[in-house]
Amino acid sequence: MKISMYNMTVPLFIKALVNMRSILDKAEEYAEEKGFEQSYLLDFRLYPDQYPLYRQIRIACIEAKGAPARLAGIDAPKFKDKDNEPSIEDLKSRINRTIVFLKSIKAKDIDGTEEKRIPISFKPGKYLTGLEYITEMVLPNFYFHITKAYSILRHNGLDIGKNDYRGEIGLKDE
């Protein structure tokens, strides 16, 4: 079976971002119900040297839109969000804009890029193949930040579980 770079990226990113948007809906309701400012959750870090919730989600979106764009040889959109005092609504808007961009990417745009040389900006003169870039860098980094965002909210008492994180599973009939 041939690897589809599209199937390894775009649908997975969309699914995880849709799930995170649903979790953020719950976080918004939770903050209102408990009577505290959203900024408490948005600025929360699991450890002092880790990024806060809002940055975890921003980075996940940057990875999700950047990877297929690099594979396709196009520019990813740049989102000009306010950096000060983001809201949960701002993060959901960023997720929505990322999903819109991802839906504009078609399989024909990135399938066949397994061997494409992807230069690594923080390692001048070094590159990864498209497949290595996705499997060794992008997917681990994307899920790391999605998991951190989930963990921050769970740590703060949001009633979410594995099904919220994972979402629906595409089970098939035998």
Section 119-144 average pLDDT: 97
Provide the residue ranges of all domains of the chain, joining segments of one domain with +: 10-158
DSSP state of 46: S
Tens-digit pLDDT profile for residues 88-112: 999 999 999 999 999 999 999 999 9
Could you tell me if residue 85 is left (phi over 0), alpha (psi between -120 and 50 degrees) or otherwise beta?
Answer: left
List alpha helices for the chain, DSSP H: 10-34, 38-42, 53-72, 88-104, 107-110, 130-132, 139-155, 162-166
Tens-digit pLDDT profile for residues 147-163: 999 999 999 999 999 99
Tens-digit pLDDT profile for residues 47-71: 999 999 999 999 999 999 999 999 9
Note the pTM of the prediction, 2 decimals: 0.94
Second-level CATH architecture of 10-158: Up-down Bundle (1.20)
